[in-house]
């Protein structure tokens, strides 16, 4: 089985600057940004997706961390996306929040 790429980033095996970090969560820039600012907010512990998250406190902290990471990146207006499952566009099977900002967003999303 392929090692989880976000676990490898969390461990430091793939050198990645963190724009936010605490004991449970890290945030870093998406490698293929879809907006001028595109951050990923990731729990250090491996959780496959939102559907597998069994810790409501962690989910709250992820959202709070996304707000902090957005503020640190200078964003006052932003979109948070959690793709869950292949049909929703989830490609990395480690729970993450996308924080997108720096341009006007369209709705509905594709
Ligand atoms: P999703 O498609 O919602 O699962 O989002 C996964 C995101 O991870 C995509 O936007 C990818 O561009 C991003 N990604 C994949 N590998 C890396 C990496 N090594 N560093 C930063 N972002 C990555």
Q: What percent of the chain has pLDDT over 70?
A: 99
pLDDT at 85 over 80: yes
Domain assignment present for 25: yes
From the CA of 23, how far away is ligand 1's center (Å)?
21
Closest CA to 89 of 39, 50, 60, 42: 50
Domain assignment present for 15: yes
Which pair of structure tokens corresponds to residue 7?
Answer: 């676990």
Domain assignment present for 106: no
Q: Tell me the catalytic residues.
A: 96
Q: Which domain holds residue 21?
A: 5-101
Domain assignment present for 107: no
pLDDT tens-digit profile of 88-110?
Answer: 999 999 999 999 999 999 999 98
Which pair of structure tokens corresponds to residue 85?
Answer: 């499952």
Domain assignment present for 42: yes
Residue of the CA atom closest to atom 15 of ligand 1? 31
Give the CATH number of the domain where residue 77 resides: 3.30.428.10
Domain assignment present for 97: yes
pLDDT tens-digit profile of 2-15?
Answer: 789 999 999 999 99
Domain count, the chain: 1
How big is the chain, counted in residues? 110
């Amino acid at each position: 089985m392929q090692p989880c790429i976000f676990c490898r980033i969390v461990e430091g095996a793939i050198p990645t600057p963190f724009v936010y970090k605490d004991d449970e969560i890290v945030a870093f820039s998406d490698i293929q940004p879809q907006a001028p600012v595109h951050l990923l907010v990731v729990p250090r512990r491996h959780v496959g997706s939102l559907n597998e998250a069994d810790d409501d406190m962690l989910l709250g902290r992820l959202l709070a961390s996304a707000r902090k990471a957005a503020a640190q990146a200078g964003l006052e207006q932003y979109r948070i996306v959690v793709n869950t499952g292949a049909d929703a566009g989830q490609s990395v099977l480690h729970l993450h929040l996308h924080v997108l900002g720096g341009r006007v967003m369209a709705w509905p999303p594709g």
